[in-house]
């Protein structure tokens, strides 16, 4: 029998490359929220997959980008720390997109590290074989990657190969977490993130990343869980959009979140949402800390 292996794999990439989709697909459970908007992921989320001979600890990092606010700088810093601490770096790219300045930014950062980098070419189901081969050749000439693996995170194609390749580069050693753990982020974080996901989905471009969600209270009585969340935005106009005409928007978000939280907890739930304006919170360090988005910056 092979030796037990355990290691940390940092999943990095440009915003919207498919990092969270890949993490959820590998774990076969929703750990990270998903959205088609850049920088949906804000915290370094560890997803943990344990089988008979390996424990994979995946760090889903915020998309590395040119920051416009203090929050963006914190997100980039979170991603860099994960890269430096990892045994393996999995750089996921959207193979349908051309190499851009964001990729160059990441590549230059990776060149500074001595960590093996596995390039994951995502969304290969969208290209024919000839185009895929050209992209493969292009990327392989950019850097001496430890491995290059084509996959489709959304369609869950070639994920066994991804795990097999990761295993080659992580060290032998004891498990870092109990085998039954799927994430290092607790229930409060996961529930707040579910609400934020619904806000991003329902409001589209109108409420981009000026939103934060905080779980204010969670009480159980007679088998039913009552949850109260505060949804924070940074402008009065966004509060109006979030509430919607006659309260339609906030009701839709509440019901959508309530349905998924009920499925997650496996019991009846009652969700209440309150909207609060915190002017320019993304540029205020104290607020970023208060909303739990600076967890690695101590």
Nearest to 122 by CA among 15, 8, 19: 19
9 and 120 inside one domain: yes
Structure tokens at 247: 């309260």
- Pick the more confident residue, 53 or 65: 53
Domain residue limits at 151: 5-169
Nearest to 63 by CA among 5, 22, 26: 22
Stated pTM of the model: 0.62
132-158 pLDDT, tens digit each: 999 999 999 999 999 999 999 999 999
The domain total for the chain is 2
Domain termination residue (choose one: 119, 140, 169):
169
> What is the residue whose two structure tokens read 């074989």?
129
CA angle 61, 65, 66 (to 5 degrees): 145
CA distance 272 to 251: 9
Are the CB atoms for 59 and 11 separated by under 8 Å? Answer: yes
| Total residues found in the chain within this entry | 298
CA distance 32 to 30: 6
157 and 196 inside one domain: no
Segment holding 57, helix H or strand E: strand 54-60
Segment holding 150, helix H or strand E: strand 147-150
pLDDT the model gives residue 179: 83
* Residue 295 CA: distances (Å) to CA of 7, 20, 81, 224, 291: 21, 19, 11, 31, 10
Q: Looking at the domain assignment, is residue 177 inside a domain?
A: no
Q: Looking at the domain assignment, is residue 9 inside a domain?
A: yes
- The CATH number assigned to the domain holding 21 equals 3.40.50.300
60 and 157 inside one domain: yes
Residue 266 burial by Cβ neighbours in a 10 Å radius (0-12, 13-18, 19+): exposed
Say which range, 57-66, 92-101, 237-246, has the weakest mean pLDDT.
57-66
20-34 pLDDT, tens digit each: 789 889 988 765 544
């Amino acid at each position: 029998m092979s030796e037990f292996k355990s290691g940390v794999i940092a999943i990095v990439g440009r915003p919207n490359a498919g990092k969270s989709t890949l993490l959820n697909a590998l774990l076969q459970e929703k750990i990270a929220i998903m959205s088609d908007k850049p920088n949906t992921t804000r915290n370094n989320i560890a997803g943990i997959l344990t089988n008979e001979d390996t424990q994979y600890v995946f760090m889903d990092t915020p998309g590395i980008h040119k920051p416009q606010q203090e929050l963006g700088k914190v997100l980039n810093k979170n991603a860099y720390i994960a890269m430096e601490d990892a045994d393996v770096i999995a750089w996921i790219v959207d193979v349908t997109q051309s190499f851009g300045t964001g990729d160059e930014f990441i590549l230059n950062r990776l060149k500074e590290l001595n960590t093996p980098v596995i390039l994951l070419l995502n969304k290969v189901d969208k290209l024919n074989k000839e185009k895929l081969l050209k992209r493969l050749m292009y990327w392989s000439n950019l850097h001496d990657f430890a491995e290059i693996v084509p996959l489709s995170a959304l369609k869950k194609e070639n994920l066994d190969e991804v795990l097999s390749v990761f295993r080659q580069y992580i060290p032998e050693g004891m498990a870092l977490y109990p085998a039954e753990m799927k994430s290092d982020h607790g229930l409060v974080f996961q529930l707040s993130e579910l609400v934020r996901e619904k806000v991003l989905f329902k409001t589209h471009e109108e409420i981009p990343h000026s939103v934060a969600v905080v779980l204010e209270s969670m009480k159980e009585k007679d088998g039913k869980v009552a949850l109260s969340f505060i949804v924070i935005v940074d402008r009065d106009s966004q509060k109006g959009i979030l509430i919607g005409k006659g309260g339609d928007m906030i009701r839709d978000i509440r019901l959508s979140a309530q349905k998924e939280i009920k499925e997650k907890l496996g019991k009846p739930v009652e969700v209440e949402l309150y909207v609060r304006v915190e002017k320019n919170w993304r540029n205020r360090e104290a607020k970023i800390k208060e909303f739990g988005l600076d967890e690695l910056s101590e």
